[in-house]
Amino acid sequence: MDLTYRPRRLRRSSALRSMVRENLVTPSDFIYPLFVHEGSEVQQISAMPGANRWSLDSLIGEVQRAWDLGIRCVVLFPKINDSLKTEDGAECFNENGLIPRAIRRLKKEIPDMTIMTDVALDPYSCDGHDGIVSSDGVVLNDETIENLCRQAVVQANSGADLIGPSDMMDGRVGAIRESLDEEGFEHVGIISYTAKYSSAYYGPFREALDSAPRLTGMKNIPENKNTYQMDPANSREAIIEAQLDEEEGADILMVKPGLAYLDIIYRLRQESELPIAAYNVSGEYSMIKAAANAGWIDEKEVVLETLLSFKRAGADLILTYHACDAANWLKD
Ligand code: PBG
């Protein structure tokens, strides 16, 4: 064949391929999500093999392991006892609650690790919603904000570096920014769940925290989060959300879930100069784990390829439960 262009020339050897490689995944791209609970034992999460609910003591060891592997940020999620859950989720701003205690311990023992937190009511709400639910079943936007601001300030005061408003309601970033600044936490950043879709991929996470919407019979609790999380059919709406978050003072924008929404990551990358994070969510993790455990796919290859796809789409950061495994694999 008489061909001028032969793209295969640059694929001939491993050395050549590494020279022209466009994207790279490194452990400092990762944000490692961790579940904590009050107990003293480490509990396995059945829908997420390899992920656990950590006790405060064992959490330290796991975060140290992540640090030693080159991971520089963790995000903490609490499994709260039912007895502490209320309609207004007030436990979320208890200074001696699980998350503030976990942050203080981590900051004391591994001070250089960046700590991200989640700001929403769902782990603390007896209704399992991210906001306060009115007696006629409306998830309230404005009425919930005060508790969220208090939650953010308590987290910052405990030592959190990045606050992650995740309830996907309106005006969160601006109000939280203002509260943090008023309390002297102008150095604490906001990583906003900018385009968070109403997704079935969060199923295993809700099992891990026992945080799914609950139909208690007392009032008319919505069975899903469709009135605040985004419709999976929409992409232009993600741009509007990104513009609002930027105007309100977000430091980092996030897209969630990641894998089924790579187009959204790509679009936000075009629209914004801020760092973009992708959340490789629980359901995406569980699917890979299940197929790998059945022997149907090569876990290492599939995980690394998946993580690369987020970078290629334009993400700078990846929240992933695979963080430690991937960091280990990236060493060889
Ligand atoms: C709660 C929150 C959720 C996740 C992160 N923060 C669940 C939800 O919105 O119901 C999901 C993470 C995952 O599935 O890995 N505000």
- Report the percentage of the chain scoring pLDDT > 90: 94
Distance, in Å, from the CA atom of 33 to the CA atom of 258, rounded to the nearest integer, reads 14
Distance, CA 228 to ligand 1 centroid (Å)?
A: 13
What tens digit of pLDDT does each residue of 73-82 get? 999 999 999 9
Residues in Cβ contact with 251 at an 8 Å cutoff, skipping those fewer than 6 apart: 162, 189, 190, 191, 274, 275
Please work out whether the CB of residue 34 comes within 6 Å of at least one atom of ligand 1: no
Catalytic residue among 79, 196, 225, 289: 196
pLDDT for the residue numbered 261: 98
Average pLDDT over residues 31-49: 96
Distance, CA 202 to ligand 1 centroid (Å)?
A: 6
What tens digit of pLDDT does each residue of 183-201 get? 999 999 999 999 999 999 9
Distance, in Å, from the CA atom of 230 to the CA atom of 195, rounded to the nearest integer, reads 7
What tens digit of pLDDT does each residue of 116-132 get? 999 999 999 999 999 99
Domains defined along the chain, listed by start: 23-330 (3.20.20.70)
Has residue 216 got a pLDDT over 90? no
Question: Read out DSSP for 162-188?
Answer: EEEE-S--TTHHHHHHHHHHHTT-TTS
DSSP symbol at 86 = B
Q: Which of 118, 202, 256 to mutate to test the pocket of ligand 1 (most atoms within 8 A of CB)?
A: 202
Average pLDDT over residues 212-238: 89
Distance, CA 185 to ligand 1 centroid (Å)?
A: 25
pTM, full prediction:
0.96
Average pLDDT over residues 95-108: 98
Closest Cα partner for 76 from 34, 130, 31, 120?
Answer: 34
User: What confidence tier does 208 reach under pLDDT thresholds 50, 70, 90?
Assistant: confident
Q: Which two tokens stand for residue 135?
A: 């007696």
pLDDT for the residue numbered 233: 98
Distance, CA 120 to ligand 1 centroid (Å)?
A: 10
Has residue 318 got a pLDDT over 90? yes
What tens digit of pLDDT does each residue of 151-179 get? 999 999 999 999 999 999 999 999 999 99
pLDDT for the residue numbered 217: 65
Please tell me the least confidently modeled range out of 138-147, 206-215, 302-311: 206-215
Is residue 107 annotated as part of the catalytic site, yes or no? no
Q: Which of 205, 214, 322 to mutate to test the pocket of ligand 1 (most atoms within 8 A of CB)?
A: 205
What tens digit of pLDDT does each residue of 18-38 get? 999 999 999 999 999 999 999
pLDDT for the residue numbered 133: 94
pLDDT for the residue numbered 57: 97
pLDDT for the residue numbered 75: 98
Average pLDDT over residues 41-67: 97
pLDDT for the residue numbered 63: 98
C-alpha pair distances (Å), 162 with each of 77, 192, 240, 250:
14, 9, 23, 10
Is residue 196 annotated as part of the catalytic site, yes or no? yes
